[in-house]
Structure 1
Amino acid sequence: MKIDERVHEDDGTYNVDVETGNGILLAQSGVPAGPEGSVVKSGQYSYTAPDGTPIVVKFVADENGYQAHSDVLPVAPAFPHPIPDFVLEQIAKAAREDEARARGDFDSSEEYGYAPPSSSYRAPQ
C-alpha cells in the first residue's frame, strides 16, 4: 500500500501524509506561526527497524530548532549528575592557583617542580 497526500494552502499552511511500500509512515503539518513568518512544523514518522523493533519519532521544528522525541533516542543523564572526586580536586586546585596569581605569589616551581624561564635566558652560542 502506498499513500502520498499533500495539501498546501496559500497562507503557507500544509499537511503531508506519506506511507511507503515498505511501511514507513510520515505525517507532518506546518503553520506560518513562527518569528518573521517562519513555518512551525510538527509531526511524526514511524518504521520497523531491521531487528523488528517498531520505531516512532514525534517531532516539532520551531524557533527552538528541531526537537525529536522517541523511546529509542538516547537521553542525557539527569543533571546535576555526580561529579567524580578527581574532577572536584582539579577544580579546587585551579581556583587556588588563580587566587595565588591574583595575589602575585604563584610559583610554578612549587606546584610543578620547575621554575618559569628566566628573563635573562639567552640562546646557546
Structure 2
Amino acid sequence: MQLLITLSALIWCATALPQYRPRPNIPIPGPTGTGRIIAIVKQQQDVNVDGSYQWSYETENGIQAEERGALKSGSPDPILEAQGSFSYTADDGTPIQVQYISNENGFQPQGNHLPTPPPIPPAILKALEYNAAHPEEDDGGVPRPGRLG
C-alpha cells in the first residue's frame, strides 16, 4: 500500500511540472523607411567646462542643423539658453528653414512656413483699450450683487 501511494505521488509530481513548450517565433518589428541609409557628411560637437556647447551636422540629403547654448547668468537659478537652426526639404520640394531660441520663455521657433495667429478684431482691440484706460471699473473678475453689466 505504501509503495502504491509513493508511486502515485511521484507520478503526480512528474506530471504536475510545467512541460516544455517551444516559444513561437514572432518577428520583432524594426525601423521602417526607404531602406536607403543617409550618410552624415559633416558633424561637430564641442562641450566646454563652463557648460556652454555647440554642435552641428549635415547629411548627404541636405538636412542641416546647428545649435549653441550657454548658461545665462544674472539670475538666482542658472538658465540654459540655446539658439539654433535646422533646414531640410519637405516631401513636396518646399525648403523648410527654422531658426529658434529656447530660454526661460520657452521654445520660440521662427520660419516662413509656420502658421501665424490671425489679427485681433477691431472691436476686441477697442474693448482692451477701454479696459486699460478705466482700471477703476475692474472688479477683478468677481461679480458684485446688485451691479448691472
| Common topology (TM > 0.5) | yes
Deviation at 1:5, TM superposition (A): 0.3
How large is the RMSD of aligned CA atoms in angstroms? Answer: 2.5
Deviation >3 Å, runs of 4+:
none
- CA-to-partner distance for each residue in 1:40-96, whole Å, 9 max, x for gaps? 0001000000111100000000010000000000000122x2569xxxxxxxxxxxx
Within-5 A mapping of 1:1-125: 2-33=41-72, 35=75, 36-79=77-120, 81-82=121-122, 102-103=145-146
Gap runs ≥5 in structure 2: 1-39, 125-142
The structure showing larger relative contact order (alpha-carbon pairs under 8 Å, at least 6 residues apart) is: 1
Deviation at 1:3, TM superposition (A): 1.1
Rg comparison, structure with higher value: 2
SS at match of 1:103: coil
SS at match of 1:59: strand
Cα distance in 2 for partners of 1:2, 1:82 equals 52
- CA-to-partner distance for each residue in 1:92-113, whole Å, 9 max, x for gaps? xxxxxxx8x9339xxxxxxxxx
SS at match of 2:145: helix
**Which letter maps to 1:49?**
A
**Which letter maps to 1:26?**
A
Cα distance in 2 for partners of 1:11, 1:65 equals 22
Cα distance in 1 for partners of 2:103, 2:72 equals 9
**Which letter maps to 1:12?**
G
Gap runs ≥5 in structure 1: 85-98, 105-125
TM-score (norm 2): 0.53
